[in-house]
Chain A
């Protein structure tokens, strides 16, 4: 087992290193001079040159890459060109929005999807199953930004129950949570639809297995078998999807954070790309990539713990 973990870990690190090269190289060819953008239309060429030097942009690319990589290892992601603050601090500020948003969405989607999935599986083939899965199909087809648009106009503009966007900060936790509800629903619903379908099919598979039949034969109540025995065993594929969804939620919020103008990671990176704040883009992308790799690593190791056959294969 230890050697398997070591192997997975080293693969993860190699992937991360390759990804860092890709990120850096891609951003090198991004057109647009950050110094010019910071100074604006009427700045003189000398002023721009001075600033370029100040920002270290006159150094050759490989040198800057090594410099950046060295910083990464020590947890220093550099200093934002536009905000002139350490990138790590920006990330920390933005995570205070994105992480809770991702967690609330994850909670919402799980809270809706698992009961619906289990219910549909238990009624497999019946009308209620068809209705539940038909709704899920529509949910999967919903573009989350369109859902967001409709939610804002009903719940923020129309009913005025919830704010239409923006984020007041965590000094007022109630307001902060309120600001995250609509974005979280927009993100969670399409994900919940996918999760409900995965849960359902995993449950149907598990319900067909011998130990469930044995449990039923022993006279355990149907409800108990469903929730205790079957669900526990159906959790593995469900957890895999949850792992994937979490990294999606953390990164895939670019559009939703734009709709609700939330100061989260997604918007930070969108703005940074447009303003050519390359050091921020590099830092955030590599952190997101690292989190994806980490989550997959954890899922893989969990798998191996459950199913020893996987340790030798692949």
Chain B
């Protein structure tokens, strides 16, 4: 046996988070009366993990745990963004949960374990670790969706999420087993080699790829595997919806990249065709269905579907008739889009949480009526978010769409770009409707907005960052580009 004891160094952040999860668990059980403890420890965990991720692993690509774990710039950048997204989402959700007597230590514990699951997914270099990370994340999310356990809606949403999620996991596993059967390898490097030397059976491989794509599409929530998204977003407590709609999208993006680009790059022409199909359907259905919604959580769910479709467009444009020189630009456009979407998603669901108070959910679009009269500042923030989501220049959403469209056009799919633009223009309607309601309608209730100071500050930072990154997107664009360049070549 030629086993060498693995190097734990590259996985320091994962180990830290796992240990902290146990600490939070014990703290939650033995110091239950100290209300702020679990929350504070969770935020400290995220900060600590961020520091470790910045300072400990080397910039170079390094593998450990017998090639099951990879530490590269792509993964580390995404991990940092995940800590940020989870931290902000927990900060926004805290008051909401406290108002509804749901702020229990288990909530934060599950959030930490969900973060760990996402970290495992992001730096997975093996089908098995990818799957375990995915399950860890999903199980925690199912539990959090049902967190308001006396609410029928929340339980029903969790049930739908769980049953469909288990089905998708099954499909994903089936696809993985086919790929293992065809290539005889589970780790991504070996799979890539097996494909490169064409030792694998192509038909079986494609069959596996179809199942894999179904699983990925479900986790991303793109048409035709999107049915769970609106129901879960609407049914889950808004604080949990915020968690589902933010960081897991980055993890799902990382999973897509790891599986399709890092492992199955040789099959790019095949999966691009499938992705194109998913992307086109998502953009059309997401935007059209969002128009008909009166519930803002549902509207944002459909908008999320169309955004995920848009993001996939970036992955469609990587390989053109065997040429790969466009690939890194296209993939970094998709990554930029994912990051931009998470920022906007945090801000938009954050606004719903900001307006909610004990006994009042603020989840109808009508609840935003006359927000300008109640709080001009936050109405402006919401306007920024809506404009950015609609892709109006010069906010971050505009540059995200622009980058993706540029790579799509460079790949020669002009019709696809035209379709995406037309659908975005149609989509702008429902975003602008929210703005119109805020500025031109009379307020339905005049209750002053009460929210903790840190939430107001964070909300403002979040809104302003969307505007600021729209004015100076170069830094983030460069970060995405260099991360992929350093990891892929």
B is bound to A: no
Which residue numbers of B lie inside 8 Å of A, CB to CB? none
Which residue numbers of A lie inside 8 Å of B, CB to CB? none
